[in-house]
């Protein structure tokens, strides 16, 4: 899929950067201990993150995906406040503290559904059946957080 042209169909507010290479993706997957979902991998190789209106990090740069996921999984304070984060692969945020994630099952991203994690009540809510639909529904206002 041509991500930039596909996303331009939904909104002109998206901002893109240069993509990452295969070596960066492979290194990040090793650090995280899991393979990135194919759609996220393809998007990051085309653009290292996607900014929305008001510089909203709808998809973070690869380095932030790695650092935030490792931080959330290893923060001792979070272990007392929240359910474990080993079942989520965070990749972006809504700008209000809530974050977007794929579900991880038995160490693998098995389905490509997108969830929103609420920082206020630790809920994990289904918001889209794919990354493409996530962008489409976000742009149309169907996703409200």
Confidence band for 112, pLDDT divided at 50, 70 and 90:
very high
Q: Is residue 130 part of a domain?
A: yes
In a domain, 108, yes or no: yes
56 pLDDT more than 90: no
Instruction: Give the domain range for residue 44.
Output: 3-136
Average pLDDT on 29-53 reads 96
- pTM over 0.75, yes/no: yes
Which 3 state secondary structure label does DSSP give 133? Answer: helix
CA distances from 13 to 7, 10, 16, 81, 108 (A): 9, 9, 10, 35, 32
Residue 24 lies in a domain: yes
Around Cβ 144, how many Cβ atoms within 10 Å?
9
Asked whether the predicted pLDDT for residue 1 surpasses 90, the reply is: no
Confidence of residue 67 (pLDDT cuts 50, 70, 90): very high
Tokens 């507010």 belong to 13
The CATH number of residue 53's host domain is 3.40.1580.10
Residue with tokens 């098995």: 110
Mean pLDDT across 83-105:
95
Name the 3-class secondary structure at 57.
strand
78-91 pLDDT, tens digit each: 988 899 899 999 99
């Amino acid at each position: 899929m041509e991500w930039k042209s596909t996303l331009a169909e939904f909104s002109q507010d998206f901002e893109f950067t240069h993509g990452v290479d295969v070596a960066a993706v492979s290194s990040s997957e090793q650090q995280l201990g899991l393979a990135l979902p194919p759609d996220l991998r393809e998007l990051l190789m085309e653009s290292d993150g996607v900014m929305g209106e008001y510089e909203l990090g709808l998809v973070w740069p690869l380095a932030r995906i790695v650092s935030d996921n490792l931080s959330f999984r290893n923060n001792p304070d979070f272990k007392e406040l929240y359910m474990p984060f080993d079942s989520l692969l965070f990749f972006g945020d809504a700008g209000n503290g809530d974050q977007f994630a794929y579900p991880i099952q038995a160490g693998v991203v098995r389905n490509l559904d997108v969830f929103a994690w609420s920082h206020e009540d630790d809920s994990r809510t289904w918001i889209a059946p794919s990354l493409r639909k996530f962008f489409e529904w976000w742009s149309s206002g169907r996703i409200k957080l």
